[in-house]
């Protein structure tokens, strides 16, 4: 392990399913933010991810970050986990292990950091363990629970009563592994689920992520009735609830939905709005880069975050708060750990268009309420600076490499 001006600088290999610009959500952006900090501190960072390519990212022509290798293969395709034959499964595993062995030999990492591993070859974890390389797991979703379910190789080996490790290695792979050693989680909500299902070992700890803080919030503006939903198109995000709420609101209230993802969800949103007679009040836009967020937030009066699933730690409300935008949100996930109804957000029940419409009507009728939420949100965002999270992950990596 090398030593730089600011201390030890281990060589890091980061493994994940997706990486910007070919990403679906905040998990990947958080990952890249940590890598950028590590490189700035003098760490040699190599990123190994799948060959998945987001069409929108390709069309925008965004370049890759340094030393990003899109060579792994994934069990996930077109928003699903297709069935594979035993031969196809073994071929995928062998490919991924050849790629891993080559990068371990070339990069000679002092530590391997595993990020999103849902639908990935969990046998890669076993191979790193067998190689004796320290590992850090930054777990921001439930992949330790659902990953084994969709790992085709694990399913292939399951009927074998014993000797799974030797059989796996004979097939050119390794016995599937799970998080061990250093495990960093993004919320107590996620920790509760993973501990209850025995999906992580003892010794885990919570390190909440944050958002980049802008130089200044967007200016306060008179209410114009422009609502914003931001994030990937996914039924679990509950955007349909806001579309249904439009019919309960005055005709001057409109909704902008910004995000890519499942086109079937987009078609359903358009159909719901047309059926309700609010089609002219709904605008769907493709995903945008973070550089576009100041303009996007300045154009709208409130962010609505109506997720219906227990999201491990929603970052979108924090991003809106950091720019001074009032937030209307459910609190079914990790974001409940920072949402405070009436202070930094208006909290609404899940799947309740009437409650969303009522919250929006309160904001429209009470400018003072919007100002209070803006002030509370700015304080909350300031307490969730992404630099603190990045420093915590870097410290965990250095400690693991020393061990």
Beta bridge partners of 284: 257
**For residue 17, what pLDDT band results from cuts at 50, 70 and 90?**
very high
Q: Are residues 113 and 258 in the same domain?
A: no
pLDDT tens digit sequence for 334-368 = 999 999 999 999 999 999 999 999 999 999 999 99
pLDDT tens digit sequence for 187-222 = 999 999 999 999 999 999 999 999 999 999 999 999
Using CB atoms within 10 Å of the CB of residue 139, give its burial: 0 to 12 exposed, 13 to 18 middle, 19+ buried: buried
Q: Are residues 262 and 372 in the same domain?
A: yes
Mean pLDDT of 283-308: 94
Q: Are residues 203 and 230 in the same domain?
A: no
User: What does the alpha-carbon distance between residue 340 and residue 319 come to, in Å, rounded to a whole number?
Assistant: 16
- Asked if residue 331 is part of any domain, the answer here is yes
Q: Are residues 67 and 129 in the same domain?
A: yes
Mean pLDDT rounded to a whole number for the chain: 92
The whole-number pLDDT of residue 60 equals 63
Kindly report the backbone phi and psi dihedral angles of residue 211, in degrees, each rounded to the nearest multiple of 5, phi listed first.
Answer: -130, 155
Q: How many domains is the chain partitioned into structurally?
A: 2
- Asked if residue 65 is part of any domain, the answer here is yes
Helices (H), 108-238: 123-130, 143-150, 152-157, 164-170, 188-196
Q: Are residues 172 and 288 in the same domain?
A: no
- Asked if residue 339 is part of any domain, the answer here is yes
- The H or E element containing residue 380 is helix 367-382
Q: Are residues 281 and 394 in the same domain?
A: no
Q: Are residues 287 and 393 in the same domain?
A: no
Contacts of 300 (CB under 8 A, 6+ apart): 226, 227, 228, 256, 325
Selected residue with higher pLDDT from 206 and 80: 206
The whole-number pLDDT of residue 218 equals 95
Residue 382 CB neighbour total at 10 angstroms: 12
Q: pLDDT > 90: what percent of the chain?
A: 77
Global pTM value: 0.90
- Asked if residue 291 is part of any domain, the answer here is yes
Q: pLDDT > 70: what percent of the chain?
A: 96
Q: Are residues 272 and 165 in the same domain?
A: no
Residue 360 backbone class (left: φ over 0; alpha: ψ -120 to 50; beta: rest): alpha
CATH number, domain of 83, equals: 3.40.50.2000
* CA-based nearest residue to 28, from 9, 47, 1, 55: 47
Look up the domain containing 30 and give its range: 2-210+386-402
- Asked if residue 344 is part of any domain, the answer here is yes
* CA-based nearest residue to 107, from 15, 16, 17, 45: 45
- Asked if residue 181 is part of any domain, the answer here is yes
User: What does the alpha-carbon distance between residue 403 and residue 74 come to, in Å, rounded to a whole number?
Assistant: 31
DSSP assignment of 279-323 equals: GGGEEEE----GGGHHHHHHT-SEEEE---S--S---HHHHHHHT
Angle between helices 239-246 and 353-365 in degrees, nearest 10: 60
- The H or E element containing residue 381 is helix 367-382
Of 106-110, 211-215, 262-266, 280-284, the range with the lowest mean pLDDT is: 262-266
Q: Are residues 17 and 128 in the same domain?
A: yes
- Asked if residue 35 is part of any domain, the answer here is yes
Mean pLDDT of 296-307: 97
The whole-number pLDDT of residue 1 equals 61
- Asked if residue 218 is part of any domain, the answer here is no
Residue 164 has pLDDT above 80, yes or no: no
Q: Are residues 280 and 181 in the same domain?
A: no
Q: Are residues 255 and 390 in the same domain?
A: no
Q: Go through 2-32 and write b for each residue having 16 or more CB atoms within 10 A of its CB, e for each that does not.
A: eeeeeebbbbbbbbbbbbbbbbbbbbbbbbb
User: What does the alpha-carbon distance between residue 312 and residue 298 come to, in Å, rounded to a whole number?
Assistant: 27
The whole-number pLDDT of residue 59 equals 57
**For residue 58, what pLDDT band results from cuts at 50, 70 and 90?**
low
Q: How far apart are the first and last CA of the chain?
A: 11
Q: Are residues 187 and 313 in the same domain?
A: no
């Amino acid at each position: 392990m090398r030593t730089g001006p600011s201390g030890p600088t281990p060589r890091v290999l980061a493994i994940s399913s997706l990486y910007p610009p070919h990403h679906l959500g905040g998990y990947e952006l958080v990952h890249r933010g940590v890598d950028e900090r590590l490189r700035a501190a003098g760490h040699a960072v190599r990123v190994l991810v799948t060959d998945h390519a987001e069409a929108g990212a390709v069309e925008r022509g965004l370049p890759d970050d340094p030393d990003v290798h899109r060579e792994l293969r994934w069990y996930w395709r077109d928003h699903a986990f297709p069935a594979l034959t035993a031969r196809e499964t073994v071929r995928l595993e062998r490919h991924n292990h050849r790629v891993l062995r080559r990068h371990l030999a070339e990069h000679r990492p002092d530590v391997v950091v595993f990020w999103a591993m849902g639908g990935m070859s969990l046998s890669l974890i076993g191979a790193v363990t067998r190689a004796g390389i320290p590992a850090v797991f930054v777990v921001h979703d439930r992949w330790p629970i659902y990953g084994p379910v969709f790992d085709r190789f694990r399913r292939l080996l399951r009927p074998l009563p014993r000797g799974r490790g030797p059989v796996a290695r004979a097939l050119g792979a390794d016995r599937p592994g799970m998080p061990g050693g250093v495990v960093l989680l993004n919320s107590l909500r996620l920790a509760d689920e993973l501990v209850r299902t025995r999906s992580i070992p003892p010794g885990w700890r919570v390190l909440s992520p944050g958002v980049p803080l802008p130089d200044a919030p967007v200016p306060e503006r008179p209410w114009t009735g422009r609502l914003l939903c931001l994030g990937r198109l996914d039924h679990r995000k509950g955007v349909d609830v806001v579309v249904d709420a439009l019919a309960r609101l005055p005709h001057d209230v409109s909704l902008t939905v910004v995000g890519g993802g499942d086109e079937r969800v987009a078609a359903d949103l358009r159909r719901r709005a047309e059926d309700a007679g609010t089609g002219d009040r709904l605008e769907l836009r493709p995903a945008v880069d973070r550089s576009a967020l100041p303009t996007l937030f300045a154009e709208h009066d409130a962010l609505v975050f109506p997720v219906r699933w227990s999201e491990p730690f929603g970052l979108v409300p924090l991003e809106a708060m950091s720019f001074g935008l009032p937030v209307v949100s459910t609190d079914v996930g990790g974001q409940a750990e920072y949402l405070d109804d009436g202070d930094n957000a208006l909290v609404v029940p899940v799947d309740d268009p009437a409650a969303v419409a009522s919250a929006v009507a309160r904001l429209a009728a009470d400018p003072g309420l919007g100002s209070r939420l803006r002030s509370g949100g700015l304080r909350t965002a300031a307490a969730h600076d992404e630099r603190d999270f990045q420093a915590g992950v870097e410290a965990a990596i250095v400690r693991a490499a020393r061990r």
